[in-house]
Structure 1
Amino acid sequence: MGISFEGKVAIVTGAGNGLGRSHALALAERGAKVVVNDLGGARDGMGQSSEAAREVVRLIEERGGEAFAHGANVAKFDEVEEMVEQALEKWGRVDILINNAGILRDKSFAKMSVEDFQQVVDVHLMGTFNCTKAVWEIMRAQNYGRIVMTTSSSGMYGNFGQTNYGSAKMAVLGLMNTLVLEGIKNDIRVNALAPTASTRMTEDLMPEHVQKMLTPEAVTAGALTLCHDDAPNRMILCAGAGGYASTRIFETDGIYLPVDQQTPEQVWAHFDQINDTTQQEPLDSAVLQTEKFLTKAAAHLSAQK
């Protein structure tokens, strides 16, 4: 049976172009009512126009779907709240949020201004927070929600000239990890998408034949997988050019040093064991790391008795 979004209401930010446009059209095609959010700014966040968002709405309506455009700046909470209220008034609920809006201001760290850093963090991190905060209580009340963060390999692995973008994209994973724990009892599932696609964000960075392989639609297939009824929870899904993979953060089993050996010299002496990946595993909450270390300490003390 195919994945359907009949009866669902979705908000997609940055949906006038590129990935957001693709996500919005695909959700509508599968039955969702869609809020097409787009400030309409340039790639660096300057200026604004609602033309692109209205075009997406027109396409959805032409195909028999329901949608409306909204030009909220995701970095401004009051504008986001107004957008969500409009969705509630029109359709009575919000089921899906895809946090996709973003800007780029690439420069090496040496040349990056405070404003270049702040503006990118405001859109990617604060924008994701604002939109998620605005729908959170609605999703809790209806005991249903699907939220997708947009992260990036630039954050997870680093990319020259993107300290601002990479910082924000890694930060949304921290937001996801805790929201997963807080939302689980209300069936709010929070996942992250790490896309590689040819959009206006990357149009001058790749040769044309490569861009043709990196279609937004390939990434959208992953995005929709993260926000349907049977979606996973706390997954980082990487998608691009028809390739799909997952990223997870693992922690090695590590070692225990007795109190009289807890020195930098001893930590350094045991680095091979600390880095041994044979028993590494993902941790589902911060508490589990503390429990692991206390268990090692307790085992050492017990062995001494």
Structure 2
Amino acid sequence: MAISRRKIALIGGGNIGGTMAHLCALKKLGDVVLFDVIDGLPQGKALDLLQSAPVEGFDANIVGTTSYEDIVGADVCIVTAGIARKPGMSRDDLLGTNSKIMTSVSEGIKQYAPNAFIIVITNPLDAMVTLCQRVTGFPKEQVVGQSGILDSSRYRTFIAQELNRSVESVTAMVGGVPVDRLISSERLDEIEQRVRMAGGEIVSLLKTGSAFYAPASAAVRMAEAYLQDKKEVLPCAALLEGEYGVHGYYFCVPVLIGAGGVEKVIEIDLAPGEKSAFDESLSHVQDIVGAMDRVLAEA
């Protein structure tokens, strides 16, 4: 009898894609299809991962491919395809290149995996998840961007390091104690600034690449919440249609993820300082989406 497992399509076979494939297998979330346009790359990674199955004790089928036909029936598609911004590259150059890639990817998903829950990682995130939803035409519940989970994880990591505590003890509190009672406001400001610059810090250290372990873990966490109907509240980039007074933009807010995808946007009361930061971030989102629209119009 054939074994029926969920199917996870990873669009982009780079470091993030390969790491996600490994995590999905280890967590036994389902079979994995690793897609990339570079022939040999996804096939080689898939074969290597598959050969680790007897050691790690998972039975998932892992396939590498350059054909969108192999993602047929996917329950989840996680999109990492795109290029990173290189020295000397303008924002519009990055938008132009990644918009073309995202358009092609979205068309492939629309044709071969129309029922999939899509998680977008490609940068610039707010613009790319917007474009993906536009091209696929999927409902807002079905397309989401990986956003605040990564920042939250980085923040918890730095707080745990500062206090020499387990990361499992750190949320907004540390062992039940509000973090601002344990760390001075000045030091918290420094840690928050480090979180904002965390991606750049890793790039400066690697010199020829960018972060991939933590982004992969964050995206797989979202997929897991959907596949296992966890009804988990996670900070993600969701399409807002009136929530928080925002209409028609993807923005990072707390959302409930379960078998219905983005089942609910959680609205919370914002303090004046939080509202100011919210509005500033929203203006950046509006700016990048507007820039993408201009680039697409000129193409």
Under a length normalisation based on structure 2, what TM-score does the superposition of the two structures give? 0.48
Query: Could you say which structure has the higher helix fraction?
Result: 2
- Structure having the higher strand fraction is 2
Please give the TM-score of this superposition, normalised by the length of structure 1: 0.47
The structure, 1 or 2, with the larger RCO (C-alpha pairs under 8 Å, 6+ apart) is 2
